[in-house]
Amino acid sequence: MAPVDWQEAWKAGITPWDAGASPPALRGLLDRDFVPAGRVLVPGCGTGYDLATLARPDREVVGIDLSENARAAFLDAHSDLPGIIVYEVTDFFTYESAAGFDFVWDYTFFCALDPDQRAAWSDTMKRLVKPGAVLATLLFPFEDPITGTEGPPWPINTGLVRGFVEDAFEELEAADIEQTHPGREGRERLVLWRRRQQP
């Protein structure tokens, strides 16, 4: 399949991946008080529902997307959120942050990448996630074994993602998700990874 022009899709309003709200799995992590204070990153943040959900006075929440239209939609909908909210229209793979991040939330980002970009995703995550910090991946569409061959979204599973992170992250937990957006039932799995301390 030819690569998707995400910017043009946003301009044309063709965004079937936009579910209109944060996923229940993210709210579940917040209910567990699992997401720390500090710096939080949401790559491929789109309209920014997750930025708003994660906003808190003791957090700096950074969203990254390629679409100026998505950023404008976020700013129109959220004029007053607690904490520091930064929405960067930029390329995730070239994004620089000397301070690093205490928590990264990846949902419908890894699965949207062309398979040949996955190694670059891994390298970027290793660069941006602080030692001891957590990368949370809500895997969708989850298939085990993987039978689909077309995307995006590309079918993914825990083993596939593990192959790209296990040299730098340890797996903390993995769980099937019962509450999801309508139409995604049985197709999400939450896997949490902790960045190993560097020698």
DSSP per-residue string spanning 122-137: HHHHHHHEEEEEEEEE
Q: For position 5, what pLDDT does the model report?
A: 61
* Domain count along the chain: 1
Q: For position 16, what pLDDT does the model report?
A: 53
Chain centroid to Cα 170, Å, comes to 18
Domain assignment present for residue 3? The answer is no
Q: For position 51, what pLDDT does the model report?
A: 97
Residue 140's domain is classified under what CATH number? 3.40.50.150
Chain centroid to Cα 107, Å, comes to 4
Return the structure tokens found at 34: 């699992």
Q: Residue 72's domain spans which residues?
A: 21-195
Task: Give the sheet arrangement for strand 189-195, strand by strand.
Answer: 84-89, 59-65, 38-43, 101-107, 129-139, 189-195, 169-176
Domain assignment present for residue 43? The answer is yes
Domain assignment present for residue 16? The answer is no
Domain assignment present for residue 85? The answer is yes
Most confident segment among 38-42, 44-48, 151-155, 181-185: 38-42
How much is the pTM? 0.90
Percent of the chain surpassing pLDDT 90 = 76
Q: For position 172, what pLDDT does the model report?
A: 97
